[in-house]
């Protein structure tokens, strides 16, 4: 799982059946200091509560498949699974 | 998932039997400002989209979960046609203006 910031939303009418009712957003992956890392990507939102600017964590590749309602399979490779309240870490525990 | 624009088609006769009947499209990825980047993906069409449309491409094993690509030998599939994209509170893409 990785941290990301929600930076936008996407509307799509024509889509795979299993994605109906599912929110799509643009997220920017961030590092532990909340600085942008890598390029933005599209993710579904299984929490359905995210707002723009919020810090979230997401799962990627095959792990994002069972994130539909009631564990339903969805054809996605990135899915937001939670909203972050706080992030704490000790600098000395980071790999050098 | 990636955002990209459909810029071409791929025709192939000699292929894995599992790919018979699939439309293969060349998708050029876009950045956050919707500018085209030099990254291309060949993706199987799982919804029925056309040229110049902005689409969402799913990669890896997740591409085999879509209804039309179930258990087929693909690792990139188009799963949605984008109507609009908003980032930082601004509309950066709208389908019906760009077409």
Looking at beta carbons, which residues of chain A come within 8 Å of B99? none
Percent of chain B at pLDDT exceeding 70: 97
Structural fold of domain A2-93: OB fold (Dihydrolipoamide Acetyltransferase, E2P) (2.40.50)
Q: Which pLDDT score, from 0 to 100, does residue A2 have?
A: 92
Burial status of residue A23 (CB atoms within 10 A of its CB: 0-12, 13-18, 19 or more): middle
On the question of pLDDT at A96 being above 80, the answer is: no
On the question of pLDDT at A43 being above 60, the answer is: yes
pTM: 0.86
Give all strands (DSSP E) within chain A, no chain letters.
2-11, 23-29, 41-45, 55-60, 78-83
- Closest CB from B69, B83, B87 relative to A26: B87
Greater confidence (B36 vs B98) lies with B36
On the question of pLDDT at A42 being above 90, the answer is: yes
- A28 to chain B: nearest residue by CA? B32
Q: How many domains does chain B have?
A: 1
Q: Which pLDDT score, from 0 to 100, does residue A63 have?
A: 86
CA distances from B7 to A59, B12, B50, B79, B95 (A): 29, 17, 9, 16, 15
Which residue(s) pair with B9 in the sheet? B25
- Whether A55 contacts chain B with CB within 8 A: no
Chain B residues with CB under 8 Å of a chain A CB are: 1-3, 31-32, 46-49, 56, 58-69, 77, 79-89, 92
- Domain of B77 in residue numbering reads as 2-98
pLDDT per residue as tens digits for the range A67-90: 888 888 889 999 998 899 998 888
Would you place residue B81 in the very low, low, confident or very high pLDDT band (cuts 50, 70, 90)? Answer: very high
| Cβ pairs A/B, distance under 8 A | 106
ipTM of the complex: 0.81
The enclosing domain of B84 has a CATH number of 2.40.50.220
């Amino acid at each position: 799982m990785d941290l990301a910031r929600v930076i936008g939303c996407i509307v799509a009418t024509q889509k795979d059946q299993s994605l109906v009712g599912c929110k799509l957003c643009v997220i920017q992956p961030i590092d532990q200091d909340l600085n942008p890392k890598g390029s933005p990507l599209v993710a579904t939102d299984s929490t359905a509560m995210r707002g723009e600017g919020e810090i979230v964590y997401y799962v990627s590749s095959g792990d994002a498949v069972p994130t539909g309602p009631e564990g339903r399979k969805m054809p996605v490779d990135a899915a937001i699974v939670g909203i972050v309240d706080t992030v704490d870490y000790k600098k000395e525990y980071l790999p050098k | 998932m990636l955002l990209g624009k459909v810029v071409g088609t791929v025709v192939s006769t000699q292929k894995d039997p599992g790919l018979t009947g699939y439309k293969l499209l060349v998708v050029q990825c876009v950045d956050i400002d919707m500018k085209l980047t030099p990254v291309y993906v060949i993706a199987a069409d799982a919804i029925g989209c056309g040229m110049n449309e902005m689409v969402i491409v799913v990669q890896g094993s997740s591409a085999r979960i879509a209804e039309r690509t179930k258990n087929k030998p693909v690792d990139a599939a188009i799963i949605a046609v984008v109507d609009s994209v908003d980032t930082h509170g601004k509309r950066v893409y709208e389908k019906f203006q760009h077409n």
